Amino acid sequence: MLMPYPRAWPPVANEDDGEQGPAPSTVVGVHASQSRLWVQVKKGKPEMKVDSDNRLRHGNWPDSAISLFLGDVCDALLRCFGAHEPPNVTQPPGFDQQKWSMVIRDTTLSIEVHSRSYWGFGLFDSCFLNELVMEGPLERRSRLAFDLVASLGRNPWEPTLGLMWKRGTGAKGEQHRKAWEELLDHAREQMSDDIQLHQDRLNELEGRLDQFEEEDHSEWTRDHAEASLVLAGHHLETARGALHDRNATGVERALGRVEATLIEADPTTEVTRTPFQLADDLLHDEAVEVDEEALKEQILVHEELPTDVARLTPDEIATATDDVAAEDLLTGVDDEPVDSIPFVDLTESE
């Protein structure tokens, strides 16, 4: 006899009577503050640990800790999330090490992840799903969804068992697809706008080359600027290809190279040479202007010391000072300059 499958989880409070009940819509894509998505798990590993403070740790954590099977979805999510503090495990696993809840957050984004089985009593890895409740800026949520789909290499909203997926999540497959694609389209539009912005700057610089040439900017040549603009066009094509392949990181890197080449082509930025080229220029003598007169004023001329200096031995010093009294040293202090008083090193005689 099959056990009944749970409703959409976790339950949401009913504002009318305060009782717990299912949410009106268990799937939310583009929203002002929150997105709620469901993901089909394919693999249960890697195995992680939960320390005494309920923090998620790597599998080789030295202290005795509870084992937890993270799954391929949450593993990809952590890699796409970026820099963050160790996730807080709000519901540690029990007998079923793939059933748990945790929170991943940084300064702008927070994600609640709930892992549980929705068919087959959790006997297989594909029996599990992950619920993602994301709170934060829409741009950040859509970009994370875009990166997650690219990292998984599959549509995460497509279930292993469609009927049980609908009963376990409380929503139809079309609702899941629509919510995910709303976020993906939003992220794609943001990156497409960035590409178009750089394309507009490229077109503007191409139309101002005659103006730059008439203004006669120093260390700027039209040939070099045209070559930089052609290279920028190639990088823009690379960015468009990366966007088509859902490679957001590739888009960012290509646009970074476009930005660098546009700066080199634009003389108004006053960055026409790379730091390495400027360092090479400093190695040439003519690149450093030296004021010879200023150098002469700083030269200190010292008299040459005599090569032959008569030195007294300690015995000679002791013999020469045997008949010297204290009052003899004070004689003529007021009449003679201080420099005329001979210096006697008494430590040598001792």
Query: Mean pLDDT lowest for which of 86-100, 204-218, 297-311?
Result: 297-311
| Segment 3-52, tens digit of pLDDT | 433 333 444 333 333 333 334 458 998 988 899 999 999 998 999 998 88
* HSE of 223, CA atoms in CB hemisphere, 13 A: 0
pLDDT surpasses 80 at 320? no
Q: How confident is the model at residue 315 (pLDDT cuts 50, 70, 90)?
A: low
| Segment 122-152, tens digit of pLDDT | 889 899 999 999 999 999 999 999 999 999 9
Q: Which residue has the tokens 């099977």?
A: 69
Q: How confident is the model at residue 104 (pLDDT cuts 50, 70, 90)?
A: very high
Angle at CA 30, nearest 5°, toward 29 and 33? 105
Q: How far apart are CA 303 and CA 81, in angstroms?
A: 73
Higher-pLDDT residue of 257, 294: 257
pLDDT surpasses 90 at 297? no
Q: Which two tokens stand for residue 283?
A: 């190695």
Q: How far apart are CA 42 and CA 298, in angstroms?
A: 77
Domains of the chain: which residue ranges?
24-160, 186-280
Can you tell me the mean pLDDT for 231-239? 95
Q: Is this prediction's pTM over 0.85?
A: no
pLDDT surpasses 70 at 313? no
Residue-averaged pLDDT of the chain: 80
pLDDT surpasses 50 at 1? no
Can you tell me the mean pLDDT for 104-111? 93
Residues present in the chain in total: 350
Can you tell me the mean pLDDT for 191-196? 95
- Spatial strand order of the sheet with 66-69 comes to 56-57, 47-50, 66-69
